[in-house]
Structure 1
Amino acid sequence: MAATTESSDAGAGSKRRHLGIPEAVFVEDVEAFMKLPGNDTADAVLRKLDEQYQKYKFMELNLAQKKLRLRSQIPQIKQTLEILRHMQKKKETTDPMETRFLLADNLYCKALVPPTDKVCLWLGANVMLEYDIDEAQALLEKNLATATRNLDSLEEDLDFLRDQFTTTEVNMARVYNWDVKRRNKDNPLKSSEKS
């Protein structure tokens, strides 16, 4: 009983670790698998496996979109951090910082920015908030660490998902081949006519 509990706990931990992606179980013995309740015909089992495969495809699409968003977000955060570090250095001087502001697509304006210890950051959803440079830097460093960690986690989830694709494809092939062999065995006239 303890072994069953441990394996189910390990499975639950695995599912949580991979964003709720269900694990595809490899069908070791197709004959025994087809005798399980609910596995009435090979066509029904193949439909279930194909449905599971399509769900994995949908999950892959969502994860790929998240990955693209994170990959574009990380350089933006790094660039903003670099600007903040530059402003940190200029904060102690009296010289204004020359910069260019984006007014519209491909339209920039030159500006002289006096030394300051305040910055405004876009938080998203048309929200901008004013921070001290140190607070903004701490927030952005935290956001960068989180985004990097999330990207690594997404990479692991995508790798896990690819394994589930492979397992499901192999299961589908094994069930299909089992069905072909069963039909040939049940109908020996067709197999003898072919030879």
Structure 2
Amino acid sequence: MNDNPRGIPQAPFVDNVGEYLKTDSVEATIRKFTEAASKYKFMENSKLQQRGSLEQKIPEIEKTLATINYLVEQQETEEPIKTLFEINDTLYAHATIPPTASVNLWLGANVMLEYTLGEALELLTGKLAIAKGNLKDTIEDLEFLRDQITTMEVNTARVYNWDVKQRRMEKSTVA
């Protein structure tokens, strides 16, 4: 079996149901397959939440990087920057920012640190690259999980159909 790069196991495909059921009962096999599909669906939901979080975070990082790049450009001039400052989602205030060599960045958990513009660019560029890589991996995992869920559902249907066919054959030979 080939697991994906982040350790999610690949679902086995049951090619020969009769051969596969030599080691387990139909009920136990269907229960095992249903449980595996449920685990894959749980992982899929977790990855969907992770993707949503990353899709929100990446534009915020890009916006902050653009602002810092603008501050770097304006650092060479002596003129203050006039802007609208976002206080809340729909509340803005006018602000005049003198040329600056440093910025304060929220790191999370109510922590803010002051960085030079160069340090801030380096930090945010690294965070953006990591977030984009994580998003790519998450999308790849979601595709892999969808394939595994489909495989387990097909396996369950094949075992169930095989069982129905066997019961019909038994009935016809008894009658």
Please, what TM-score do these two structures have when normalized by structure 2?
Answer: 0.94
Amino acid of the residue matched to residue 98 of structure 2?
A: P
Asked if 1:139 is matched to 2:123, the reply is yes
Alignment of 1:58 with 2:42, yes or no, is yes
User: 1:25 corresponds to which residue?
Assistant: 12
**Aligned partners of 1:88, 1:98: CA distance in 2, in Å?**
15
SS of structure 2 residue aligned to 1:128: strand
What SS class does the counterpart of residue 123 from structure 1 fall into? strand
Aligned positions, number: 175
Which secondary structure state, in structure 2, belongs to the residue aligned with residue 187 of structure 1? helix
Q: Distance in 1 between matches of 2:51 and 2:89?
A: 26
Structure 1 outlier segments of 4+, above 3 Å: none
Describe how 1:1-195 pairs up with structure 2 within 5 A.
11=2, 14-15=3-4, 17=5, 19-36=6-23, 39-40=24-25, 42-188=26-172
Higher relative contact order (CA 8 A, sep 6+): 2
Q: How far apart are 1:189 and its partner, in Å? A: 7.2
Give the secondary structure class of the aligned counterpart of 2:7.
Answer: coil
* Unaligned runs of at least 5 residues, structure 2: none
**TM-score, with length taken from structure 1:** 0.85
SS at match of 2:87: strand
Take 1:52 and 1:112, find their aligned partners in 2: how far apart are those partners? 59
User: Aligned equivalents of 1:105 and 1:68: distance in 2?
Assistant: 20
C-alpha deviation, 1:103, in angstroms = 2.2
The root-mean-square deviation of aligned C-alpha atoms, in Å, is: 1.6
Q: Which amino acid aligns with 1:35?
A: K
Distance of 2:89 and 2:135 partners within structure 1 = 29
- Separation in 2, partners of 1:61, 1:72: 17
User: How many angstroms apart in 1 are the aligned matches of 2:89 and 2:61?
Assistant: 20
Letter in 1 for 2:20: F
Structure 1, gaps ≥5 residues long? 1-7
Aligned counterparts of 1:78 and 1:99: Cα–Cα separation in 2: 19
